[in-house]
């Protein structure tokens, strides 16, 4: 009797799940930076209005997002680490990569600036100074696009971070926001994307110490997961999303998104080499 | 009045019960036939409860055999037991009786209510139908358990110390019910360590001491001319150790 | 870090996004607890009443699984439901039913283990009477479940507390998709990572309020049971 009542309750609860029916929706594996910066919150309703398609964003690090695509658990991947994306394509998991937009990374650090890097535009000099002074540095350490970009910058600075690291270099293995929280709590330097930083509220004593270096530009690309590998991929709807992103309408929407009056992402779908 | 059933006699033959190397019942042979109540008497620890449980089929003997109406299976036997400390289901008194009626499945459903009222009145608990059974006093519970045992319309009713630790008024209600039950030709087999109770109710006596049956016989014979020394001591009211 | 709007203001204003998050949390956890109850109670009760070789092992395993880390449960369900996993064709990953599955995995052992304990204690008490009444196996289980209903309700509510409070499993299998699989706990994780601590704290307080409410309910049920059943 009790069991029957519970069964009915469970069935009723199951039925009341929002939008479980076969509505038009796709799953996009993307990065925490696009989600946490609020970009998706702005452009996805516009896309839905235009096409009636709901986009379900699973925000992960770039590496994890690509893996989600590899397993066929997403229809589209929208990430920012060109080399990793090209590997994804060459493995046959993606159909084609389209450049969409870029934003930039910034070096965040405590106002006290123990490494003395404030004012320089040269990210490589700044990282070298941090290492030389042994100033506390937080690394995402999560194979995210930001993490991959950070490791590349150390390499450009001639530092093999795997070998040359000391106790000053801390890998936290978490998302951008979490890394910023930790940096804020421990007065450390940290490499962040500008979007997450601008929407980040718990800044404490942190501020931007280095910005504007060309090498800090961060390109986003979008790919349809290959239906030949995973037949369940919603290829038509996914491609519709990609087409919209690189259309004049989608590009304008990206440019329109601002936090505190500041534009975060710069559309560049026309730049085929990006 | 019920027709003589096929449940009787219950025969124990050389029944021994042992646990952890201790002999609780020692090679007991006896037969429980129809007729007036059979009362097991004997001091505490003499094995009365264990003998009732064997006869009820709740436990198996370590050695020896038990038969019910000549069969080795106890399952079809309509029997019920009232334990010394009955456990009531977490429901009202009336619902406890309804449960027993349902389990026995002997009565059409539409007769449950009238049968419950009848049983409650038999044990003097008419006012208690809606009381949560587990909030009732020890004496009330024992009477309710008696009613519950009768709900299944048993041919044999086992009672373990039915009047122990009851005040005289409550004990009288219980003994009156036992007499009524016996008069309906239901075989009563009860244990007691209370000589008075045994004198008032017993048709036959089984006298036990230290896990053995020391003496059996008609109640009048037993009380007037006991054979064994143990029975003589016990009837005198002296301490039997 | 002044909060622009607190979670309470949003809740009071009937903010649809926040209400959807609260609603989904409750639906997912209640469904999971419903399913876990349907599985866990009969399994626990049968385990209490049966004896078979290896029973002790099963009991120990269930007891140990009560402490199963949510992320492990989440990972296991993730691997099952992923398109590349054995149940991938169901297409359930990153949907609310996937979150229900993960929580069922978490909660079922709790309900089964605690039910076994409760029913076993009750059986010890009822064994003689029910055996004497010739009560069959099926009715035995039913009787013990019914008579243990107040303890069982407390157990179910404990399971609900566990489900409603966990984040590790549902964030893995649900993906924390805004407007679709975002619950109170995953929203708290997200707002914390965005550094919006006041909003995270506000959501946390709402969650705690719900759990406290549930426990108050459990306590009231327990009291009523004592008065009724003695
Ligand atoms: N399960 C058991 N394990 C060990 N000893 C027992 C058990 N049941 C009864 N006994 C012992 O067997 C003896 C007889 O018990 P019982 O039949 O209850 O006697 P009575 O009902 O005449 O007082 C007592 O000494 C008692 O301690
Ligand atoms: Mg006894």
Specify which residues A76 forms β-bridges with. Answer: A28, A224
Per-position b or e across A22-45, b if 16+ CB within 10 A of its CB:
eeebbbbbbbbbbbbbbbbebbbe
Q: Is residue C202 one of the residues assigned to a domain?
A: yes
Q: Which domain, by its residues, includes C99?
A: 2-112+147-229
Question: What number of H helices and E strands is found in chain A?
Answer: 12, 12
Q: Is residue C88 one of the residues assigned to a domain?
A: yes
A9 interfacial to chain C (CB closer than 8 Å): yes
Question: Residue A173 corresponds to which tokens in the numbers above?
Answer: 């293995």
Q: What is the mean pLDDT of residues A95-110?
A: 95
Interface size A-C, in CB pairs within 8 Å, comes to 112
Q: Helix, strand or coil for residue B57?
A: coil
C130 interfacial to chain A (CB closer than 8 Å): no
pLDDT of B74 higher than 80: no
Beta strands A76-79 and B10-19: pairing type? unpaired
Q: Is residue C183 one of the residues assigned to a domain?
A: yes
pLDDT of residue B205: 96
B60 interfacial to chain C (CB closer than 8 Å): no
Ligand 1 centroid from CA B46, angstroms: 8
C97 interfacial to chain A (CB closer than 8 Å): yes
Beta-carbon contacts of C220 under 8 Å, excluding residues fewer than 6 positions away, are none
- Measured in degrees and rounded to the nearest 5, phi and psi for residue A31 equal -105, 160
> CA of C14 to nearest chain B CA: how many angstroms apart?
44
C78 interfacial to chain B (CB closer than 8 Å): no
- The Cα A163–Cα B153 span in angstroms is 88
C145 interfacial to chain A (CB closer than 8 Å): yes
Q: What is the mean pLDDT of residues A160-172?
A: 91
Residues of A within 8 A of C189 (CB-CB) are none
Ligand 1, atom 12, residue with closest C-alpha: B24
Q: Is residue C134 one of the residues assigned to a domain?
A: no
- Residue A29's nearest CA partner among A5, A64, A3 is A64
Cα separations in angstroms, B234 against A75, A202, B162, C89: 91, 89, 20, 81
Count of C-beta atoms within a 10 Å radius of residue C97: 20
- Measured in degrees and rounded to the nearest 5, phi and psi for residue B96 equal -60, -40
| Contact across the interface for B83 and C228, Cβ inside 8 Å | no
pLDDT of residue C56: 93
Q: Helix, strand or coil for residue B139?
A: helix
Nearest chain B residue to C124 by CA distance is B87
- The Cα A199–Cα C131 span in angstroms is 68
- Give percent above pLDDT 70 in chain A: 92
C223 interfacial to chain B (CB closer than 8 Å): no
What is the pTM (predicted TM-score) of this model? 0.81
Q: Is residue C133 one of the residues assigned to a domain?
A: no
- Give percent above pLDDT 90 in chain A: 71
pLDDT of residue B103: 94
Residues C141 and C120 sit within 8 Å (Cβ to Cβ): no
- The Cα C198–Cα B137 span in angstroms is 57
Of ligand 1's atoms, which has the minimum distance to the CA of residue B44? 23
Of ligand 1's atoms, which has the minimum distance to the CA of residue B42? 22
Helix (H) or strand (E) holding A29: strand A25-31
Ligand 1, atom 10, residue with closest C-alpha: B24
pLDDT of residue B108: 95
CB of B135 shorter than 6 A to ligand 1: no
Q: Is residue C14 one of the residues assigned to a domain?
A: yes
* Nearest 10 degrees: Cα torsion C11, C14, C20, C26: 60
pLDDT digits (tens, 9 = 90+) for C79-136: 999 999 999 989 999 999 999 999 999 999 999 999 999 999 999 999 999 999 999 9
- DSSP letter string, A143-200: S-HHHHHHHHHHHHTT--HHHH--TTEEE--S-HHHHHHHHHHHT-EEEEEHHHHHH-
| Contact across the interface for B103 and C133, Cβ inside 8 Å | yes
Residues C62 and C120 sit within 8 Å (Cβ to Cβ): no
Rounded to a whole number of angstroms, the CA Rg of chain C reads 20
How would you class A274 by CB atoms within 10 Å of its CB: exposed for 0-12, middle for 13-18, buried for 19 or more? middle
- Give percent above pLDDT 90 in chain B: 78
pLDDT of residue C229: 64
**Average pLDDT of the residues of chain A:** 89
Which of A103-117, B160-174, B213-227, C186-200 has the weakest average pLDDT?
C186-200
pLDDT digits (tens, 9 = 90+) for B80-137: 999 999 999 999 999 999 999 999 998 999 999 999 999 999 999 999 999 999 999 8
pLDDT of residue C230: 55
Residues of C within 8 A of B91 (CB-CB) are 147, 229
pLDDT of residue C228: 67
Give the HSE-up count for residue B199: Cα atoms under 13 Å, Cβ half-sphere. 6
CB of B192 shorter than 6 A to ligand 1: no
pLDDT digits (tens, 9 = 90+) for A212-252: 998 999 899 999 999 999 999 999 999 999 999 999 999 99
Residues of B within 8 A of C147 (CB-CB) are 89-91
Helix (H) or strand (E) holding C149: helix C149-165
pLDDT of residue B111: 95
- The Cα B130–Cα B149 span in angstroms is 19
> CA of C175 to nearest chain A CA: how many angstroms apart?
5
What single DSSP character describes residue B92? B
Q: How confident is the model at residue C140 (pLDDT cuts 50, 70, 90)?
A: very high
C window 32-71, beta carbon within 8 A of A: 34-35, 37-38, 41-42
Residues of B within 8 A of C128 (CB-CB) are 58, 83, 87
pLDDT of residue C6: 67
How would you class B164 by CB atoms within 10 Å of its CB: exposed for 0-12, middle for 13-18, buried for 19 or more? middle
CATH of the domain at C105: 1.10.3720.10
Better-predicted residue by pLDDT, A19 or B20: B20
- The Cα B206–Cα B15 span in angstroms is 15
Q: Is residue C140 one of the residues assigned to a domain?
A: no
- The Cα A99–Cα A107 span in angstroms is 24
Pocket test for ligand 1, best of B24, B192, B214 (most atoms within 8 A of CB): B24
pLDDT of residue B141: 93
Where do the domains of chain A lie, and which CATH numbers do they carry?
24-102+219-267 (3.40.190.10), 104-216 (3.40.190.10)
Helix (H) or strand (E) holding A110: strand A94-110
Q: How confident is the model at residue A8 (pLDDT cuts 50, 70, 90)?
A: low
pLDDT of B39 higher than 70: yes
pLDDT digits (tens, 9 = 90+) for A68-82: 999 999 999 999 989
Rounded to a whole number of angstroms, the CA Rg of chain A reads 21
pLDDT of B2 higher than 50: no
Nearest chain C residue to A44 by CA distance is C178
> CA of C221 to nearest chain B CA: how many angstroms apart?
15
Q: What is the mean pLDDT of residues A12-33?
A: 70
Nearest to C194 among A3, A18, A199 (CB): A199
Specify which residues A54 forms β-bridges with. Answer: A25
- The Cα B48–Cα B223 span in angstroms is 19
pLDDT digits (tens, 9 = 90+) for C25-73: 999 999 999 999 999 999 999 999 999 999 999 999 999 999 999 999 9
| Contact across the interface for C195 and A16, Cβ inside 8 Å | no
Residues A234 and A54 sit within 8 Å (Cβ to Cβ): no
Pocket test for ligand 1, best of B50, B81, B83, B212 (most atoms within 8 A of CB): B50
Better-predicted residue by pLDDT, A2 or A92: A92
Other chains touching A, judged by 3 or more CB pairs under 8 Å: C
pLDDT of A19 higher than 70: no
- The Cα C132–Cα A209 span in angstroms is 83
Residues of C within 8 A of A71 (CB-CB) are 82-85
Beta-carbon contacts of C208 under 8 Å, excluding residues fewer than 6 positions away, are none
Q: What is the mean pLDDT of residues A198-203?
A: 87
- Residue B188's nearest CA partner among B227, B146, B216 is B146
Question: Residue B116 corresponds to which tokens in the numbers above?
Answer: 């419950």
Q: What is the mean pLDDT of residues A183-205?
A: 91
What single DSSP character describes residue B95? H
C131 interfacial to chain B (CB closer than 8 Å): yes
Count of C-beta atoms within a 10 Å radius of residue C220: 10
- The Cα A253–Cα A47 span in angstroms is 9
- Residues belonging to chain A: 274
CB of B45 shorter than 6 A to ligand 1: yes
Q: Is residue C209 one of the residues assigned to a domain?
A: yes
Terminal-to-terminal C-alpha distance of chain C: 54
Q: How confident is the model at residue A28 (pLDDT cuts 50, 70, 90)?
A: very high
B10-19: strand order across its sheet = B22-32, B10-19, B63-68
- The Cα C96–Cα C182 span in angstroms is 9
pLDDT digits (tens, 9 = 90+) for C175-222: 999 889 999 999 998 888 878 888 888 889 989 998 888 888 878 877
Better-predicted residue by pLDDT, C225 or C140: C140
**Number of domains composing chain C:** 1
């Amino acid at each position: 009797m009790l069991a029957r009542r519970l069964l009915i309750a469970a069935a009723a609860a199951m039925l009341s799940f929002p939008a479980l029916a076969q509505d038009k929706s796709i799953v996009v594996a993307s990065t925490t930076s696009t989600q946490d910066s609020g970009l998706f919150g702005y452009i996805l309703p516009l896309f839905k209005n235009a096409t009636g398609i709901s986009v379900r964003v699973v925000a992960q690090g770039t590496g994890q997002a690509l893996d989600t695509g590899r397993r066929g658990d997403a229809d589209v991947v929208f990430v920012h680490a060109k080399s990793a994306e090209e590997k994804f394509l060459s493995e046959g998991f993606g159909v084609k990569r389209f450049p969409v937009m870029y934003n930039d990374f910034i070096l965040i650090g405590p106002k006290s600036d123990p490494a003395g890097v404030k004012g320089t535009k040269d990210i490589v000099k700044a990282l070298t100074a941090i290492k030389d002074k042994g100033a506390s540095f937080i690394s995402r350490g999560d194979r995210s696009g930001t993490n991959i970009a950070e490791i590349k910058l150390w390499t450009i600075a001639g530092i093999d971070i795997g070998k040359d690291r000391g106790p000053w270099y801390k890998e936290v293995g978490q998302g951008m926001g979490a890394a910023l929280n930790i940096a804020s709590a421990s007065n450390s330097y940290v490499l962040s994307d500008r979007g997450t930083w601008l929407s980040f509220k718990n800044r404490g004593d942190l501020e931007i110490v280095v910005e504007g270096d060309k090498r800090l530009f961060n390109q986003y690309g979008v790919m349809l997961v290959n239906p030949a590998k995973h037949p369940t991929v919603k290829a038509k709807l996914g491609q519709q999303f990609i087409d919209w992103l690189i259309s004049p309408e989608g590009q304008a929407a990206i440019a329109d998104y601002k936090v505190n009056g500041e534009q975060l992402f710069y559309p560049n779908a026309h730049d085929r080499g990006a | 009045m019920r027709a003589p059933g096929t449940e009787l006699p219950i025969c124990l033959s050389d029944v021994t019960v042992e646990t952890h190397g201790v002999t609780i019942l020692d090679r007991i042979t006896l037969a429980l036939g129809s007729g007036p109540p059979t009362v097991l008497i004997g001091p505490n620890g003499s094995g009365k409860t264990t003998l009732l449980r064997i006869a009820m089929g709740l436990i198996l003997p370590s050695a020896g055999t038990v038969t019910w109406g000549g069969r080795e299976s106890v399952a079809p036997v309509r029997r019920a037991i009232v334990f010394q400390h009955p456990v009531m289901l977490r429901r009202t008194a009336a619902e406890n009786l309804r449960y027993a009626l349902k389990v026995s499945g002997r009565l059409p459903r539409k007769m449950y209510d009238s049968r419950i009222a009848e049983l409650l009145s038999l044990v003097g608990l008419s006012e208690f139908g809606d009381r949560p059974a587990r909030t009732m006093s020890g004496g009330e519970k024992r009477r309710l358990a008696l009613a519950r045992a009768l709900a299944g319309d048993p041919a044999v009713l086992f009672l373990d110390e039915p009047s122990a630790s009851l005040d005289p008024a409550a004990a009288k209600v219980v003994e009156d019910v036992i007499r009524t039950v016996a008069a309906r030709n239901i075989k009563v087999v009860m244990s007691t360590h209370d000589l008075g109770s045994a004198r008032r109710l017993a048709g036959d006596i089984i006298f036990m001491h230290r896990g053995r049956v020391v003496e059996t016989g008609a109640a009048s014979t037993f009380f007037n001319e006991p054979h064994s020394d143990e029975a003589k001591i016990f009837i005198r009211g002296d301490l039997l150790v | 870090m002044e909060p622009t709007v607190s979670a309470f203001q949003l809740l009071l204003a009937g903010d649809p996004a926040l209400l959807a998050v609260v609603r989904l949390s409750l639906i997912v956890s209640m469904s999971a607890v419903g399913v876990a109850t349907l599985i866990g109670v009969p399994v626990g009760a049968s385990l209490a009443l049966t004896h078979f070789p290896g029973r002790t092992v099963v009991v120990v395993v269930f007891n140990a699984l009560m402490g199963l880390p949510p992320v492990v449960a989440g990972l296991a369900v993730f691997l099952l439901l992923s398109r590349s996993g054995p149940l991938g064709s169901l297409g359930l990953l990153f949907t609310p039913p996937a979150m229900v599955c993960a929580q069922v995995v978490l909660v079922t052992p709790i309900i089964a283990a605690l039910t076994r304990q409760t029913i076993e204690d009750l059986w010890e008490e009822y064994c003689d009477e029910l055996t004497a009444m010739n009560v069959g196996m099926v009715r035995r289980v039913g009787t013990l479940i019914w008579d243990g209903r107040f303890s069982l309700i407390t157990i179910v509510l404990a399971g609900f507390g566990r489900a409603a409070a966990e984040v590790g499993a549902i964030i893995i299998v649900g993906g924390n998709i805004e407007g679709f699989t975002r619950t109170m706990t995953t929203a708290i994780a997200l707002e914390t990572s965005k550094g919006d601590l006041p909003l995270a704290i506000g959501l946390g307080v709402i969650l705690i309020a719900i759990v406290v409410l549930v426990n108050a309910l459990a306590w009231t049920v327990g009291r009523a049971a004592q008065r009724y059943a003695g």
